[in-house]
């Protein structure tokens, strides 16, 4: 059922895009595209959707077709076997992308390749028949190898074309001289193949090869593209470096109609991974009549810091920058440029976009700036966030201010200042020691140097914007409110934690918040919406007694459902609920396992649901989202039906809301349709499946009910800096396993029946 709905969605997509392609071809004089032809740039899927499935496998090619623009180009790296058959494999050394080293132990050889002695299992030493028992596997260690057990066979070029039926075919001939040395003719292969198969593009980094076929393939049917390698690499047939060949585009034009270049040829990056000014390459090549294709688009490596880890932003810088557009991008993740080209390019800066999701910042734009600083907030506002957030902490002298953690060490340089003497323990707050906000007076805190958070630095060595590591200054709650009031945001969210603990230290945080809001003129909420968030119901109860703000209850543990009685109880003190991502789509080994009842249940009782935390680092996302934060947000919004996102990269969510492919109903293109939670996991062969995990608990009334806030203690003596030794009781719960529910239109589901046809 799901599959046929998805199939009809795909068909309607193909039809509507075919029509719009016609329309845009006719109106190409007024095209917004700065490509050579005026047509939208091409999406070229390198080895298929090789970011997920083994490079050059049937599954990779199929997934590319299912998730991309209808005219997606299928790229095959052609290698020749001992008996002269052309196969698709990313390298002539088959050991990288197949299991050949275990099938033919000791059959590795050492040959010169472009003058370099190279050891491995070469395609030229095996007949097609030999390769029958060899399967394609994931060659990139950082990607999941869970799909290898599907026993994807090596495909000949003919097999690939007949099975995948690619809308357009690109053959890359990386090595011709090498095959010639092994008495195999790539030229014969290409010329013969072009008689039975439409080859739309042939690329090669060897000048000699392209010149040898230039007169033998039809230039209208088959475009020849010269591929540039690194600038210092020597092109083997001319003995010039690619860098020097780049200086004579007129020469290139004598045998090729276009060029394929590493993306850094166009937007160079410096040694610290920052983007430099773009080069004139695309304009120069266009002037010379050459199309330009850019290579190396990969979502699952840290991108240049300038893109804030957002691969859509990266693609846009190549296709929609006001100065030029490349004519195509070569990618391992074709869904990303598909969405960038069709949905995100040429969006008016003034477009207000759709209302959902409500974009709430997480410590301001803390993905790019130290959290809760003036810069984090002003950039969050510029980035199009709807709500800026202030996690309120209290200084020793009772000033409420914004900081991500009550422990100043997490967000500042306090540990390197003389205040490190104030190191203390507070078991009610955290284990271990910390330097707590209530131990310093505000003027000292103001003077601390802010530090950018890098949640994925210790395990994955992914650091956030080092240029901004220590910029910005912290704001008092009053300053934060003044900033919000004088800005375009629609409101503020103020988080209050540890209220009972602070009350015992003579610090009344709820009163301080209410006072600051009232003083800043936020009492009537006419201009700006005020949201107060807490994980503790007693805080929200207390606020409710005193003011009429939106009260937001945060459930900071994974849950799979909540009993009706619990939700009714939440209704007594909250208007909306914040849950974790895994409480909507639980995961196992970073694969989505399904969808919980949490959003449906909370919605049934008219509670809005906001989800945290959406980050751009690919490592923070499940495999199902293709290392693309936009796919993740879209799947939560369209598939998970959530009302808001809490994100440290509000620019990505703000830009998502303005994309042109929202609100299209059944005409929604596949690349802007939600993924089906659990469907990718179904492609894992059973022996490789991770063991099922214990399901998350159901939220009960006992989890929610809290004793009322204690009265704030009179300050009789200077507030103590130490804490008590009481421990927080841990809650153990159990529950029934939840089956994956397939409620969403999805392109992924299509893969299953096709795979079984093999
Ligand atoms: C295979 O090749 C890819 C791309 O060149 C590389 O990232 C990966 O590390 C290689 N894997 C092995 C096992 O050599
Ligand atoms: C290629 O053919 C030549 C001439 O027939 C022969 O001498 C040479 O050994 C062959 N090379 C290989 C790698 O088979
Ligand atoms: C390129 O250099 C190699 C080694 O220096 C030489 O053998 C070859 O003849 C040269 N080829 C051309 C086209 O100059
Ligand atoms: C560039 O290439 C063209 C065509 O091969 C040739 O006529 C011209 O002399 C070359 N220019 C330079 C500066 O090498
Ligand atoms: C990239 O970011 C760095 C650091 O913020 C900045 O200096 C540089 O100008 C940016 N590059 C571009 C092309 O905007
Ligand atoms: C803040 O630091 C500066 C120099 O680092 C110092 O001159 C100033 O007195 C400090 N302010 C406070 C309130 O401590
Ligand atoms: C209010 O915002 C404007 C423009 O963003 C700025 O010029 C002005 O200084 C701000 N005023 C205050 C009081 O912050
Ligand atoms: C309040 O603080 C006192 C001493 O600092 C401690 O004995 C007591 O347990 C605290 N009460 C609460 C509710 O934390
Ligand atoms: C809980 O509430 C939902 C939504 O109102 C309702 O459909 C369901 O029957 C209720 N379940 C129980 C056990 O009362
Ligand atoms: C919530 O606040 C109450 C005081 O109102 C306190 O007793 C309780 O420990 C807090 N709960 C948690 C989980 O911190």
Stretch 106-118: mean pLDDT = 96
Quote the mean pLDDT of the chain: 90
Stretch 448-474: mean pLDDT = 94
Using 50, 70 and 90 to split pLDDT, how confident is the model at 758?
very low
* Cα 488 to middle of ligand 7, angstroms: 11
What tens digit of pLDDT does each residue of 232-286 get? 999 999 999 999 999 999 999 999 999 999 999 999 999 999 999 999 999 999 9
The DSSP call for residue 680 is: T
Question: Is residue 625 pLDDT above 80, yes or no?
Answer: yes
Q: Which residue has the higher pLDDT, 290 or 742?
A: 290
User: Which pLDDT belongs to residue 19?
Assistant: 36
Ligand 1 pocket check for 140: Cβ under 6 Å = yes
The DSSP call for residue 235 is: P
As a whole number of angstroms, the distance between CA 434 and CA 723 comes to 11
Say yes or no: do domains 5-77+157-344 and 358-659+671-727 share a fold: yes
As a whole number of angstroms, the distance between CA 445 and CA 473 comes to 10
* Cα 560 to middle of ligand 9, angstroms: 15
Residue extents of the structural domains in the chain: 5-77+157-344, 358-659+671-727
Stretch 165-191: mean pLDDT = 98
User: Which pLDDT belongs to residue 523?
Assistant: 79
User: Which pLDDT belongs to residue 688?
Assistant: 94
Strands 258-262 and 291-297: parallel
What tens digit of pLDDT does each residue of 140-154 get? 999 999 999 999 999
φ/ψ of 381, rounded to 5, equals: -65, -50
Question: Is residue 681 pLDDT above 70, yes or no?
Answer: yes
Q: Which residue has the higher pLDDT, 457 or 58?
A: 58
Using 50, 70 and 90 to split pLDDT, how confident is the model at 716?
low
Out of 10-19, 209-218, 256-265, 541-550, pick the least confident. 10-19
Minimal-distance CA residue to ligand 8 atom 14: 501
Q: Ligand 6 test: best mutation among 447, 449, 473, 476, most atoms within 8 Å of CB?
A: 447
User: Which pLDDT belongs to residue 29?
Assistant: 59
Q: Ligand 4 test: best mutation among 207, 245, 250, most atoms within 8 Å of CB?
A: 250
Are the C-beta atoms of residues 576 and 643 closer than 8 Å to each other?
A: yes
The CA–CA distances, whole Å, from 214 to 37, 240, 584 equal 22, 20, 55
Out of 3-7, 464-468, 549-553, pick the least confident. 3-7
Closest ligand to Cα 446: 6
Give the global pTM: 0.91
As a whole number of angstroms, the distance between CA 150 and CA 751 comes to 13
Stretch 563-581: mean pLDDT = 98
User: Which pLDDT belongs to residue 691?
Assistant: 93
Stretch 365-391: mean pLDDT = 97
Stretch 184-209: mean pLDDT = 97
**CATH assignment of 358-659+671-727?**
3.20.20.190
Q: Please list the alpha-helical segments (H only) found in 81-185.
A: 100-103, 157-164, 177-181
> What region does 91 belong to: left with phi over 0, alpha with psi -120 to 50, or beta?
beta
Question: Is residue 755 pLDDT above 90, yes or no?
Answer: no
Stretch 287-309: mean pLDDT = 97
Stretch 280-302: mean pLDDT = 97
Question: Is residue 675 pLDDT above 60, yes or no?
Answer: yes
Question: Is residue 717 pLDDT above 70, yes or no?
Answer: no
Question: Is residue 2 pLDDT above 70, yes or no?
Answer: no
What tens digit of pLDDT does each residue of 522-550 get? 977 677 999 999 999 999 999 999 999 99
Strands (E), 376-509: 387-394, 400-402, 424-426, 430-434, 491-496
Minimal-distance CA residue to ligand 4 atom 8: 251
User: Which pLDDT belongs to residue 511?
Assistant: 96
Out of 6-10, 128-132, 603-607, pick the least confident. 6-10
As a whole number of angstroms, the distance between CA 660 and CA 723 comes to 53
CATH architecture, range 5-77+157-344: Alpha-Beta Barrel (3.20)
Ligand 1 pocket check for 139: Cβ under 6 Å = yes
* Cα 280 to middle of ligand 4, angstroms: 19
What tens digit of pLDDT does each residue of 407-436 get? 999 999 999 999 999 999 999 999 999 999
User: What number does the ligand 5 atom closest to the CA of 468 have?
Assistant: 5
Tell me how crowded residue 360 is: count the other CB atoms within 10 A of its CB. 29
* Cα 96 to middle of ligand 1, angstroms: 6
User: What percentage of the chain exceeds 70 in pLDDT?
Assistant: 90
Using 50, 70 and 90 to split pLDDT, how confident is the model at 352?
confident
Question: Both tokens of residue 675?
Answer: 């993924």
* Cα 236 to middle of ligand 3, angstroms: 8
User: Which pLDDT belongs to residue 354?
Assistant: 86
User: Which pLDDT belongs to residue 351?
Assistant: 81
User: Which pLDDT belongs to residue 552?
Assistant: 98
């Amino acid at each position: 059922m799901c599959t046929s709905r998805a199939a009809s969605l795909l068909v309607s997509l193909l039809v509507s895009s075919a029509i719009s392609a016609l329309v845009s071809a006719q109106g190409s004089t007024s095209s917004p595209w700065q490509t050579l032809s005026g047509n939208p740039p091409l999406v070229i899927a390198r080895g298929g959707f090789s970011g997920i499935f083994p490079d050059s496998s049937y599954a990779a090619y199929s997934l590319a077709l299912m998730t991309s623009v209808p005219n997606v180009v299928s790229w095959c790296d052609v290698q020749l076997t001992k008996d002269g058959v052309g196969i698709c494999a990313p390298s002539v050394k088959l050991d990288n992308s197949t299991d050949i080293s275990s099938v033919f132990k000791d059959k590795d050889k050492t040959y010169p390749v472009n003058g370099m002695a190279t050891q491995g299992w070469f395609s030229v030493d095996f007949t097609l028949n030999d390769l029958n028992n060899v399967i394609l596997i994931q060659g990139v260690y950082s990607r999941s190898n869970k799909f290898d057990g599907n026993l994807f066979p090596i495909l000949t070029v003919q097999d690939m074309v007949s099975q995948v039926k690619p809308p357009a075919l690109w053959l890359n001939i990386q090595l011709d001289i090498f095959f010639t040395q092994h008495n195999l003719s790539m030229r014969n292969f290409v010329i013969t193949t072009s008689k039975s198969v439409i080859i739309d593009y042939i690329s090669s980094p060897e000048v000699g090869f392209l010149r040898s076929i230039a007169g033998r393939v039809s230039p209208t049917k088959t475009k020849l593209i010269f591929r540039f390698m690194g600038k210092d690499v020597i092109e083997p047939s001319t003995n010039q470096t690619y860098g020097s060949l780049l200086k004579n585009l007129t020469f290139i034009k004598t045998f090729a109609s276009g060029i394929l270049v590493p993306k850094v040829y166009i937007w160079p990056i410096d040694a610290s991974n920052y983007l430099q000014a773009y080069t004139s390459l695309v304009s120069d090549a266009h002037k010379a009549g050459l199309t330009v294709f850019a290579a190396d688009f990969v979502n699952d490596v840290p991108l240049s810091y300038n893109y804030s880890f957002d691969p859509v932003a990266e693609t846009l810088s190549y296709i929609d920058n006001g100065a030029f557009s490349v004519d195509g991008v070569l990618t391992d993740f074709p869904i990303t440029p598909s969405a960038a080209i069709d949905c995100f390019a040429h969006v008016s800066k003034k477009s207000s976009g759709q209302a959902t999701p409500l974009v709430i910042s997480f410590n301001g734009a803390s993905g790019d700036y130290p959290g809760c600083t003036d810069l984090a907030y002003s950039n969050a506002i510029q980035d199009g966030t709807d709500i800026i957030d202030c996690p309120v902490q209290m200084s020793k002298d009772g000033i409420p201010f914004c900081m991500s953690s009550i422990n100043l060490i997490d967000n500042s340089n306090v540990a390197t200042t003389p205040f490190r003497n104030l190191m203390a323990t507070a078991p009610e707050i955290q284990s271990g020691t910390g330097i707590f906000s209530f131990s310093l007076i505000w003027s000292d805190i103001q003077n601390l140097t802010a530090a950018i958070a890098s949640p994925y630095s210790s395990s994955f060595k992914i650091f956030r914007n080092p240029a901004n590591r220590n910029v910005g200054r912290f704001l008092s709650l009053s300053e934060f409110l003044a900033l919000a009031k004088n800005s375009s945001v629609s409101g503020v969210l103020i988080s209050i934690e540890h209220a009972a603990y602070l009350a015992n230290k003579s610090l009344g945080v709820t009163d301080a918040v209410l006072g600051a809001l009232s003083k800043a003129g936020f009492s009537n909420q006419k201009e700006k919406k005020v949201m107060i968030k807490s994980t503790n119901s007693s805080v929200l109860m207390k606020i409710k007694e005193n003011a009429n703000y939106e009260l937001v209850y945060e459930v900071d543990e994974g849950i799979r459902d909540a009993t009706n009685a619990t939700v009714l109880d939440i209704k007594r003190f909250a208007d909306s609920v914040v849950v974790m991502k895994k409480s909507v789509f639980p995961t196992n080994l970073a694969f989505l396992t399904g969808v919980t009842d949490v959003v449906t249940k909370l919605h049934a009782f008219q509670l809005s649901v906001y989800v945290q935390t959406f980050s751009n680092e690919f490592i923070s996302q499940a495999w199902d989202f293709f290392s693309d934060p936009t796919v993740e947000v879209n799947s939560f919004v369209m598939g998970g039906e959530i009302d808001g996102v809490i994100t440290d990269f509000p620019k990505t969510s703000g830009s998502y809301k303005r994309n042109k492919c929202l609100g299209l109903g059944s005409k929604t293109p596949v690349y802007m349709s939600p993924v089906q939670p659990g469907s990718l996991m179904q492609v894992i062969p059973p022996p490789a499946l991770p063991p099922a995990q214990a399901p998350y608990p159901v939220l009960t009334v006992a989890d929610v009910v809290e004793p009322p806030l204690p009265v704030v203690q009179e300050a009789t003596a200077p507030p103590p800096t130490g804490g008590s030794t009481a421990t927080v009781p841990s809650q153990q719960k159990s529950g029934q396993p939840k089956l994956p529910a397939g409620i969403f239109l999805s392109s992924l589901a299509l893969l299953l029946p096709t795979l079984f046809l093999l």
